[in-house]
Amino acid sequence: MTSRHQAPVEHHDRWPMPRGWPTRRVTVMVAWLLPWLLTVGLAVALHVLHSPEPVDEGSMPFVMAHDIVAEEVPRAVGPIDHLPGAQQAAFRFTSHFSPMPAPGPEDWLRIHPERGQTVQDYVDSHPNEPEPGDHIYILPLGRLPSERGPTTDELAEHARRFFGLPVVVLPVRPLVQLDVPSRVQGDHRQLNATAVLDVLQAEVPRDAYCLIAVTLEDLYPSDDFNYVFGLARLKSRVGVFSFARYHPAFFGEVPADDPGFTVDRRLMVRRALKVMSHEIGHMFGVEHCVHLHCVMNGANHLSEVDRAPMHLCPVCLRKLHLTLGFDPEARYRGLAEHYGALGLDEASDWAFQRAGYLRRERGG
């Protein structure tokens, strides 16, 4: 990697961040505090507008940032009164979810100030809808050793439980059979991810909802970008993502062939499942989330990927629910079991808590 500035998790031909983007000359403290100060200022402004009189002599009511989020999320979710009670609960903002953290100077939202996508925006975009018998296809590009990330069976099981469609893993395609441009960036070869998508787009199986490729080769979307973790197209139902940057050996922090150094495999599995969920989410028409901390948040670097949760927020969950019609409680329960089998205890506990909450809401 030749620059501290890193490319987005995916690219929709907008908000480019070219190599050489100048580093902002602000202190880390100011960069982190400023968004929260602006949020507090917004809260005060809202109360000046909506609370013309103080509660009592010399005092003024104050709304915390949490309260602003609690008002914004229902607006983004839209009407749910027609749903059964337990399903309504799945799309409410509760303590299980966290507001977006304040972006740092190199974080996605600081570089790409997106407006976000409400559920109504999602409906109006006319996302692709799966037909009966549709599958998610996974295509391995080159060898994927298990010490560098999840196996293809683990990827397939995650996609099945996360999106609720059957999954097919295609035979490994050797990289020598992939005729796409490449380049050398630092010490690593990179494949042109845009060209990979062009190849995939011509090969989408007839019974595929989408086709996603996975590789250990590093990726770049265009000459202006250093790299991407993954790339997907909202309408064309193709995507690709890479394990390359998940292991410290990629950055030269440890020798790649050092038998005395081990990395917790769960870290690399967690990263891979997040990025795959994110990219397949785009193929379902879900854009980047700005409403809550969510797996669909944009990520500009590996630290942002690590900070992001593995789950969808209520807004993004509702988008998938409209398209797929799953039972939210059963989905959470299935994901909890899956995460537990992978040793991802924190994600498993969270999903079990959500399933329990929805069970109580339906009176079970």
Catalytic residues, by residue number, are 279
DSSP secondary structure letters along 267-281: HHHHHHHHHHHHHHH
Tens of pLDDT, residues 309-319: 999 999 999 99
Tens of pLDDT, residues 86-143: 899 999 999 999 998 888 999 999 998 899 999 999 999 999 999 999 999 999 999 9
Return phi, psi of residue 97, to 5°: -115, 155
Share of the chain residues as helix, strand and coil, in percent rounded to the nearest 5: 40, 10, 45
DSSP secondary structure letters along 169-203: EPPPBPGGG----EEEETTEEEEEHHHHHHHHHT-
The domains found in the chain, sorted by start residue, are 1-127+285-326 (no CATH), 131-263 (3.40.390.10)
Per the CB < 8 A criterion, the answer to whether 330 and 161 are in contact is no
Which residue in 270, 263, 269, 318 sits closest to 292, CA to CA? 318
Q: Is the pLDDT of residue 37 over 70?
A: no
Tens of pLDDT, residues 269-301: 999 999 999 999 999 999 999 999 999 999 999
Q: Report the greatest alpha carbon distance in the chain.
A: 77
Which residue in 66, 1, 21, 47 sits closest to 224, CA to CA? 21
> Highest mean pLDDT range out of 41-50, 196-205, 259-268?
196-205
Tens of pLDDT, residues 16-28: 334 444 433 334 3
Tens of pLDDT, residues 261-275: 678 899 999 999 999
Burial pattern 9-46, b for ≥16 Cβ within 10 A else e, equals bbbeeeeebeeeeeeeeeeeeebbeebeeebeeebeee
Q: Count CB atoms within 10 A of the CB of residue 75.
A: 12
Give strand ranges (E) for the chain.
135-141, 167-169, 182-185, 188-192, 208-215, 218-220, 230-232, 238-242
**What does the pLDDT read at residue 324?**
97
Per the CB < 8 A criterion, the answer to whether 88 and 80 are in contact is yes
The residue assigned the tokens 């990979």 is 196
Which residue in 50, 215, 86, 202 sits closest to 140, CA to CA? 215
CA distance 346 to 337: 12
